[in-house]
Structure 1
Amino acid sequence: MENMVKPLIPAHMSVYADKHGVFHLLQSMVSSVLTYQPDDPVSHLISVLQRSSINIPRIMVLGPPAVGKHTVATKLSAELRAVHVTIESLLKDQSELSTQQLPVEQRVHQRLSEVDCFNKGWVLEGLPQTRLQALTLQQAGVIPEHVVILDASDDVLLERREGKLVDPVTGDVYHQTFIWQANDIIAQRLEKGRGPSEAQHLAELQLFRCEVTGLRSAYQHVLKIINSDQPHADVYQQGSHPQNNQSRADVYQQVLAFVRTRHCSRTPRILLLGPPGSGKSHQARLLSEKYKMVDVCCDQLITSAAADGSSLGEKIQSYLDDKQPVPDDLVLQVLKRRLSQVDCSSRGWILHGFPRDLQGALSLQESQHQPNRVFFLELTDDVCVERVSLRATDPVSGERFHAVTRPALTSEIQNRLETRPQDRTYAVTHTLNQCRTHTAALQSVYPDVVLIDADQDPHSVFEALESRLNSV
């Protein structure tokens, strides 16, 4: 959907569009017209513009059976005052209004096109169930702002199914182990939950396991996967389950925090800053692999430019031969050439290795390739030295390994590994000292820089980056 409203445009126009939220506005307008298909599109678009400052929720809550979708979706719709749409309500609406059997995707489109969903927003529970359904809904203009996939192990899901309890008065769902009701009056009237048979449960679970990869792919830019094998702390009877009282934030609070972030359709232009060893290259690769952005490593660009035989490359090579830093003006020429290419303009980019000081940052800001998201990976000097000094490079493949976090795959590779001069302890210490002298100046150029604790496992660092990637 985003590509429909984001044509290839010159860099300076892209900067203006990002600054004023033009892409987000266009996406909202096109999505709304396709979803509601009004007889008078102009009047409809005026109403969209008038409410553009209001964050109307459009949320999907997905997951396998017994994972807690209904509990979370019910609480979300109540808190956000949005319309709660379920498979059951869609079937009921159809049976009351028409005898014609419509495909589920068409029922969803019709329901979400109604006035209450337009004005109040919606929380769609349990749909789509397959990648094909997701693509059909996207083609119909049903574009969520947030998609939550709840998940848990098969054993946990089976245990929840067997212990499900329902309040016959309110319809609220509880569980004799996971979610108990502290109020004795309510607890006494709970009934064994009626649901699908074990065979049907297993069939639905198998369908989800088969389709979850496709669903994740269809909604990857607005997606949050949350482990549902955690307590719902607000409904525990105090003292009844003490092991849960000190656990992580409950599932619902994690979902609520996610849906309160507002996603942007800006073309990502990410700058990763941080000392040597903080993991900039690794995180750039992870972001590039998941979000298809271009990984722009300045050191690799410089090396490639030096070898291309051009006049610019010859100038750069002379500095490399003398083991001198390449001047910023030459580096910027190489960067501008790369960042102006079509893949960077359309898919976005992640830059690391430049700028290294105040002047480089100011020069980048004066170009047409300013970053719109800046992250600083924080790490202490001791950890930096430990990480970098344990690195070694395979001279055959050029691949980099680490004695602790990424050891060589075979003894043959291990025996030929070499430590680069710049990775030796004294060289790392010198580089760190230079880096620290420029850190405050770099952060002054980027006052909205997001600080990320890099002294944790790479997956946790990636999650921290990802959680801020699409939020304003």
Structure 2
Amino acid sequence: MDETLKPVRIPPHMSIYADKHNLSHLVQSLVSSLVVDRPDDPISYLVDLLQRSRVDIPRVMLLGPPAVGKHTLAKRLSAELKAVHVTMEGLLEDQSELRALTEQVTQDVPADLLVQLVQQRLKEVDCLQEGWVLEGIPQTRLQVLLLQQVGIIPDHVVMLEAPEEVLLQRAQGRLLDSLTGAQRLERGRGLSEEQLLAELQRYRCEVTGLRSAYQHVLGVINADQPHTDVYHQALALVQTRHYSRTPRILLLGPPGSGKSLQARLLSENYKMVNVCCGQLLRSAAADGSGPGALVQPYLDDGRPVPDSVVLRVLEERLSRVDCSCRGWVLHGFPLNLQQARSLQETQNQPNRVFLLEAPDHVCLERLSLRTVDPLSGERYHTVTRPAPSAEVQARLQTAPEDRLEEVTQRLNQYRVHCAALQSVYPDVIHINANQNHLSVFEALESRLTTN
């Protein structure tokens, strides 16, 4: 083959290094700061920025209606995260006229001035080095847009919710903890019931815009529960890290758990390359070049392809430019401890491993009851998709690998090796595959880019 026509390959260790040091997030953060601040000397600016700040510091916004418990929670979170607690009162310490105004109606502070005060505070050394928890700001969609324009974008937004009657009781200082009998929160700002209702109405008018603006980093927590529970839920949320990295996903699970279907859904929705080991070996054998030439004799004789040959074919495929740039989802390999260890020794280690779990009787039903129409190629299932007519039913055939004895043997082999496979991947994420395939996909999606 002409060398200029060979598939371009990117060394996999480049992606591994980028993932390890979270370079995508670092570059995005630096470029964002550049275009927002527009310094005259970009190089000196970046050097100074890298020396003064850290990429992994907490950047948290805590939102919610009045009397929902934002201040109490923000104090605990900032103490636990060792971050700076930024409040409206703190921002207005040297703004006597505005401070007098906010004691009556916080929302009347001009949005541009409020954003300017927030920007000045978050650029101070303590916030740059330790991170920040911003309490009760922003309060409107306009404030959100202005904050975004100056480059203030949180990693997490925690929104507290509680019924109106609970908020009214808290504001009046009458709400007791049902477990301890103690008053749950401190007395509020002394607003009358009429003033509180007015603030609640203003919040309701803005909350949809706030949710929409921060939907990708938003976590909503029910605040009408013991404060300790609220705190632990909020802490778990803000300690979750979202990573921008090239996906290298490995799907494990028994035959019939839905690995092929989930791999196809991931590939369609996230444009990653779907790598089915069995299909890859057949394609390589049909191509007949490179390591594929070694595969065909084994397929012809019905013998298992040696692990060394499988790994050569896999490495060749996973190092192509589409896998390096778009990422990949691998299924059908590894099947045992030795294969898993061999894969870990290559430059194509997965950065996310999912184990689809389903009981044997479910897997048996899914596989042994499926058939194919030899004329149309359509697949049917006795329970979930029966043949449309008696004529079609009469000609349906069961694939050799779907016969009951074969499926049972494959399941037994999987169970023998399952524990050993998990020992190679201690961070494997367990997914309940005994449910609707869309629910399984949602569970996979929720853990793709988080720790």
Q: TM-score normalized by structure 1?
A: 0.66
Deviation at 1:429, TM superposition (A): 1.0
- Provide the rounded CA distance (Å) in 1 between the counterparts of 2:381 and 2:201: 48
Q: Distance in 2 between matches of 1:414 and 1:304?
A: 34
Structure 1 residues 268 and 184, CA gap change in structure 2 (3 angstroms): closer
For structure 2, which runs of at least 5 residues remain unmatched after alignment? 1-8, 100-108
Question: Sequence identity, in percent?
Answer: 50
> Quick one: distance in 2 between partners of 1:130 and 1:287?
33
Match of 2:105 in 1: none
- 2-side partners of 1:69 and 1:347: how far apart? 43
Query: How far off is 1:430 after superposition?
Result: 0.9
* 2:250 pairs with 1:271: yes
Alignment partners' CA distance in 2, 1:447 and 1:199: 51
Distance 1:230 1:460 in 2: 27
Matches within 5 A, 1:26-425: 41=45, 42-48=47-53, 56-61=57-62, 70=70, 73=74, 75-77=76-78, 79-84=80-85, 96=98, 102=112, 109-124=119-134, 125=136, 127=138, 141-148=151-158, 160-161=163-164, 163-165=166-168, 182-183=182-183, 192=193, 194-196=196-198, 203-204=205-206, 207=209, 212=212, 215-216=214-215, 219=216, 223=217, 225-226=219-220, 228-229=221-222, 231-234=224-227, 250-285=229-264, 287-288=266-267, 293-305=272-284, 316=295, 319-320=298-299, 323-391=302-370, 407-408=384-385, 411=388, 419-425=398-404
CA separation of 1:201 and 1:271: change in aligned 2, threshold 3 A? same
- The answer to whether the Cα contact below 8 Å between 2:364 and 2:404 also exists between their aligned partners in 1 is yes
- Structure possessing the higher radius of gyration over alpha carbons: 2
2:16 maps to 15
Amino acid at match of 1:164: L
Q: Distance in 2 between matches of 1:207 and 1:257?
A: 25
- The 8 Å contact of residues 378 and 453 in structure 1, kept in 2 or not, is answered as yes
CA distance in 1, matches of 2:222, 2:250: 35
Q: Secondary structure at the match of 1:232?
A: coil
Alpha carbons of structure 1 residues 115 and 317: separation in structure 2 relative to 1, 3 Å: same
The alignment covers a number of residue pairs equal to 422
Structure 1 residue identity aligned to 2:83: A
State whether residues 66 and 196 of structure 2, in contact with CA within 8 Å, keep that contact through their aligned partners in structure 1: no
Q: Quick one: which of 422, 432, 443 aligns to 1:454? A: 432
Query: How far apart in 2 are the matches of 1:277 and 1:252?
Result: 40
Distance 1:329 1:163, change over 3 A: same
Q: Find the counterpart in structure 2 of residue 241 from structure 1.
A: none
Structure 1 residues 59 and 302: alpha-carbon distance in aligned structure 2, compared to 1, 3 A threshold: farther
Gaps of 5+ in 1: 1-7, 152-156, 236-249
After superposition, the C-alpha distances for 1:264-302 in whole angstroms (9 at most, x for unaligned) are 444332222222123333444555566554433333434
Cα distance between partner residues in 1 of 2:387 and 2:60: 47
Amino acid at match of 1:121: G
| Counterpart residue identity of residue 400, structure 2 | P
Displacement, 1:431?
0.8
- Aligned residues: CA RMSD: 5.2
| Alpha-carbon separation, structure 2, partners of 1:459 and 1:168 | 43
Q: TM-score normalised to the size of structure 2?
A: 0.68
CA distance in 2, matches of 1:78, 1:280: 43
CA drift at 1:58:
1.0
Change (3 A) 1:31 1:117: farther
C-alpha distance 58-205 of structure 1, shift in aligned 2 (>3 A): closer
- State the alpha-carbon separation in 1 of the partners of residues 431 and 24 from structure 2: 31
Instruction: Determine if contact 2:69/2:223 at 8 Å carries over to the other structure.
Output: no
Closer, same or farther: CA 394–109 of 1 in aligned 2, 3 Å: farther
Change (3 A) 1:359 1:198: closer
Q: Assess, with a 3 A threshold, how the Cα gap between structure 1 residues 202 and 148 changes in structure 2: closer, same or farther.
A: closer
Structure 1 residue 17 displacement after superposition = 3.9
Q: Does 1:433 find its partner at 2:399?
A: no
- Alpha-carbon deviations, 1:232-280, whole Å to 9, x = none? 2237xxxxxxxxxxxxxx4542221122234444433222222212333
Distance 1:102 1:357, change over 3 A: same
Q: Residues 31 and 311 of structure 1: is their aligned pair in 2 closer, same or farther, counting only changes over 3 Å?
A: closer
Question: What SS does the corresponding residue of 1:102 show, helix, strand or coil?
Answer: helix
Q: Is the 8 Å Cα contact of residues 269 and 370 (structure 1) preserved in structure 2? A: yes
Q: Deviations over 1:46-103 (max 9, x none)?
A: 233xx67xx521124568x689684655653454353455789879998759x98638
Aligned mates of 1:408, 1:91 — CA distance in 2: 66
Contact (CA 8 Å) 2:158, 2:218: kept in 1 or not? Answer: yes
> Letter of the aligned partner of 2:347 in structure 1?
Q
- Distance in 1 (CA, whole Å) between partners of 2:29 and 2:93 is 30
DSSP-derived class of the 2:280 partner: helix
CA distance in 1, matches of 2:138, 2:326: 29
Matched AA of 1:448 = P
1:294–1:343 contact (8 Å) kept in structure 2: yes
Residue identity opposite 1:112 in structure 2: L
- Summarize the Cα distance change of 1:424–1:335 in structure 2 as closer, same or farther, 3 Å threshold: same
Deviation string for 1:283-323 (max 9, x for gaps)?
Answer: 44555566554433333434544555767667656655555
DSSP-derived class of the 1:351 partner: strand
Q: 1:161 is matched by which residue type in structure 2?
A: E
